[in-house]
Amino acid sequence: MDQKTDDRTLSPGLEGVLAGETAIAKVDGLNGKLTYRGYPIGDLVRHGTYAQVADLLWTGEWAPSADLPCAPLTDGVIKSLRALPPGTNAMDALRGAVSAWGAAERPTWPPTPEQARALTAIAPSSLAAFVRIQRGDEPIDPDPSLPLSAGFLYQLNGKRPDAASARALDAYFIVAAEHGFNASTFTARVITSTQSDLASALCGAIGALKGPLHGGAPSEVVSQLHEIGSPERAEKWINDALDRGDRLMGFGHRVYRAYDPRAAALREVAEGMAGTAEWLKLAVAVEDVALRVLKERHPERPLQTNVEFYTAAVLQGVGLPPAIFPATFALARHAGWTAHCIEQGQANRLIRPDVRYVGPAERALPA
């Protein structure tokens, strides 16, 4: 079609374009609601576990007895992690571990819940092993009696986490597990649509999540809160930042026009963590001031708290270093990514959008 007569609607970033159908989750940005298979995210956080939620995403059924411990790593994955140079980005390490797992396991197409469980279970072991190797420690074998989130903390620190920290991280894993056709999930579905394997799809998803516009905000929230330092400094710091044209991290969302329901669920969890009282006090004070200032400056734009804001409070509270916040996000998202790969494989059609050509008209090579 000639570009001058091509009147098809262009949507940069595919915003508002329906690219598929899903029964996995509904993101209602206008009303600030998120449901997994019809269940509200707040109810899942209060009454469920990550293992139950992951199984729900994979199968569509609620299984109260669902269990998902971390899995031991193959020699190939361990060798790939040991070969990484000092200072390697944790997302690169996780992507490499998934690739090494796929090379050894050779998962077939279409993806299955069994493949999803296996890959989701090795991801925390991989990230924990990477962190320990980078700081000169030996990896720790997983404890099969611990659920995935607690098992990750155990392999990371060498001791069983306290109940509050384990519960808080499990709650974070639940709220971060799935969120519709975001960039990384769509990437995974595109790769799956080519009939490539599950490991390849997740390598692509991890690569997409590595980008700071998608997965990097929680660590920046930590830096922002540290810079503010105290509730008394919040208003001046926020106004100065907005005057400079800086982005206020943890506020505003591409989809939500109301308060992010994941942030509400995580704030509730954070408030129950005794060890983060001062940190949470600062976060709540900054949130209150930020929402007021943003409303005063931009009454036409509904800028609300997003999930990254209280993600920072929870991950800081359980003792994770900010450098691995994005990779921890990726661990949680494994359940949703793999669920979408399974769904894509069940009714597959190669994803291949069109593009409008806007370059030079046909012409002859210069003499």
Element (H, E) at 177: none
Q: Name 12's Cβ contacts closer than 8 Å, sequence gap at least 6.
A: none
How far CA 11 is from CA of 16, 312, 331, 353, 355, in Å, comes to 7, 32, 31, 12, 11
In this prediction, residue 110 carries a pLDDT of 97
Helices 217-228 and 234-243 pack at an angle, to 10 degrees, of: 120
Q: How far apart are CA 20 and CA 340, in angstroms?
A: 11
In this prediction, residue 4 carries a pLDDT of 62
Q: What is the pLDDT of residues 336-353, one digit of tens each?
A: 999 999 999 999 999 998
Q: How far apart are CA 238 and CA 297, in angstroms?
A: 11
Q: What is the pLDDT of residues 258-310, one digit of tens each?
A: 667 777 787 877 777 666 667 777 888 888 888 888 888 877 777 777 777 77
The question of whether 308 is a catalytic residue gets the answer yes
Domain range annotation of the chain: 217-317
Residues 179, 253, 334, 340: which is the catalytic one?
A: 253
Tokens of 167: 């519960």
In this prediction, residue 274 carries a pLDDT of 61
Q: What angle do CA 33, 268, 238 make, to 5 degrees?
A: 85
Question: Are the CB atoms for 258 and 32 separated by under 8 Å?
Answer: yes
Question: Are the CB atoms for 196 and 91 separated by under 8 Å?
Answer: no
Tokens of 309: 């804001």
Say whether 302 sits in a helix, a strand or coil.
coil
Question: Are the CB atoms for 343 and 110 separated by under 8 Å?
Answer: no
For residues 112-141, give the mean pLDDT: 98
Higher pLDDT, 223 or 143: 143
In this prediction, residue 290 carries a pLDDT of 86
Q: Name 126's Cβ contacts closer than 8 Å, sequence gap at least 6.
A: 73, 77, 81, 93, 94, 97, 98, 101
Mean pLDDT rounded to a whole number for the chain: 89
* Tokens 């994941």 -> residue: 262
How far the first Cα of the chain sits from its last, in Å, is 29
Residue 321 gets the label, from left (phi > 0), alpha (psi -120 to 50) or beta, of: beta
When mean pLDDT is compared across 185-189, 192-196, 322-326, the lowest value belongs to 322-326
Residues 178, 179, 287, 308: which is the catalytic one?
A: 308
How far CA 40 is from CA of 57, 104, 227, 268, 358, in Å, comes to 13, 38, 35, 15, 44
Higher pLDDT, 41 or 248: 41
**DSSP strands (E only) in the chain:** 25-28, 33-36, 39-40
Q: How far apart are CA 59 and CA 294, in angstroms?
A: 41
As a CATH number, domain 217-317 is 1.10.230.10
pLDDT at 137 over 70: yes
Other C-beta atoms within 10 Å of 241: how many? 18
Question: Are the CB atoms for 3 and 356 separated by under 8 Å?
Answer: yes
In this prediction, residue 275 carries a pLDDT of 60
Tokens of 136: 């000169």
